[in-house]
Amino acid sequence: MASLCFSPSVLSCKIKPPITGFRKQRLSLFVCRAASLTFRDLDADDFRHPLDRQNTLLLRAIPGLNDIGKALLGTVSEQIMLLENIGTSVLVSENQLPELHYLMVEAARILNIEAPDLYIRQSPVPNAYTLAVSGKKPFVVVHTSLVELLSQKELQAVLAHELGHLKCDHGVWLTFANILTLGAYTVPGVGSLIAQRLEEQLLRWLRAAELTCDRAALLVAQDPKVVVSVLMKLAGGCPSLSDQLNVDAFLEQARSYDKASSSPVGWYIRNAQTRQLSHPLPVLRAREIDEWSRSQEYRSLLQRAIQVNSVQKV
């Protein structure tokens, strides 16, 4: 696979041989990071996906959407979400899971955005999501099974993806969509509307927004194979198989999917397959990020970036 990848030339201190899987990596005195790029003047529109722009305009055109969102995300609902995470998850900080804290802080620095709170939640379903509660600091939730599944670089790419939602000010719509995907369909007075028009349009917007945030993940990882590896593992990975997964083979699989769905019948099946999904298919996301990593748009962003070295004591 032809890819644009920034490889570190100098490490700031000695590191141990690589160990597969974040769960197998032991705490050391320092988290050593290679020279990386940071985007001091990065604007959300610098990397926003065209489908995100298009579907945002369509979403804004839906009458009463903001009123529905405010009704769903009222004071009581927001307080429930906030207390649910505080009460059932672990808040990451300098003194609590410091390596994860550093991954978030560094990703936020690269994207030039304030780091949100980060919670780790026990769950067998690999997932991560962002909730923006009005008047409160936004927070990201990562499930323990996702931490188990990914390497350190891959996990930071996931955090960067979630930061992309905040960088792009997806805000209330993102929280609204996350509530939908988490199963909150029975809201008095709006359930039928969600089922008919709003749900479909909101999910279409969310799928487009996910493509934008995959680009944010690439800006932090600065290696398309890291982002594609995350998508591959979400499609069919587990800790015991991680060492055997092949990114290039997965990209070839993505190209074969494009070919199979290029016919009229294939196009219809593809749309039916994705219509009710909150995220694009992993193979489509992999193909999108692979193509963007080789684009002039991405190269131009890298040329604008500033190289920095960072070492964090933990």
pLDDT confidence tier of residue 183, bands split at 50, 70 and 90? low
The C-alpha atoms of residue 165 and residue 217 are separated, in whole angstroms, by 11
Whether residue 56 contacts residue 32, with contact meaning beta carbons closer than 8 Å, is answered with no
* String of DSSP letters for 250-306: HHHHHHHHHHHT-SHHHHHHHHHHHTT-SS--HHHHHHHHHHHHTSHHHHHHHHH-E
Which residue in 302, 115, 292 sits closest to 215, CA to CA? Answer: 292
Give the DSSP per-residue string, 20-58: SSGGGPPP-SEEE-B-EEE-TT--GGGT--HHHHHHHHH
Interatomic CA distance for residues 90 and 8, integer angstroms:
32
Task: State residue 291's pLDDT score.
Answer: 97
Beta strands 36-38; 306-308: pairing state:
antiparallel
Give the global pTM: 0.81
> What one-character DSSP code corresponds to residue 14?
-
Active site residues: 162
pLDDT of residue 66: 64
Q: Residue 121: which H helix or E strand, with range? A: strand 117-121
What pLDDT digit, counting tens, does each position of 57-106 carry?
887 777 766 666 666 666 566 677 778 878 899 999 999 999 999 999 99
Residue 132 one-letter amino acid: A
The arithmetic mean of pLDDT across residues 285-299, rounded, is 97
- In the structure, what pLDDT confidence band is assigned to residue 231 with cuts at 50, 70 and 90? very high
